[in-house]
Copies of this chain bind each other. A is one copy, B any other.
Amino acid sequence: MLSKKSQYAFKALEYLTAKYKEGPVLISEIAKKKKIPLKFLENILLELKKAEILDSKKGKGGGYFLKKSPEKVKVATIIRLVNGPISMLPCVSLYFYERCKNCDEKQCGLHDMMVEVRDATLKIVENRTLRDLVV
């Protein structure tokens, strides 16, 4: 399951996508409209900024905005960034790979199945962008 943090991140990004090219949006505005705890949202947006998804402007007239156009930000990227691995097993993850202890990948029945699950999931989340979230 996606963490609350991830769900908040998507709600915020959704909001910023809808307001894309309308200039910086206040954290407080996003927090209020999307009902996200203000300080928690601060942390999340800062993280997204450090990952080059968002950019910000300080002072009056400031706020957060998308750094790239919404079509260019994949859902998979956000999940990996905020939530972590998409795969169900470490030994199957493309971005967070870890060798299975006491389990030979070549003869592990779970392994192959989880590769399939991973690919089925990626086929969806790698091909959707923030733009697809706003209908």
Binding site for B on A (CB under 8 A): 1-2, 7, 10-11, 14, 34-35, 75, 84-85, 87-90, 101-103, 107, 109-110, 112-113, 116-117, 120-121, 123-125, 128, 132-135
Contact = CB atoms under 8 A, between A and B. Distances in A.
A48 to B, nearest CB: 16
Tallying the copies of this chain within the complex gives 2
A102 B32 CA distance: 11
Contact of A75 (B2, B89, B113, B133): B113
Contact of A1 (B2, B85, B128, B134): B85
B124 A14 contact: no
A1 B133 CA distance: 24
Nearest to A36: B102
Contact of A102 (B10, B14, B34, B88): B34
Contact of A88 (B2, B101, B109, B123): B2
A134 B121 CA distance: 24
B134 A109 contact: yes
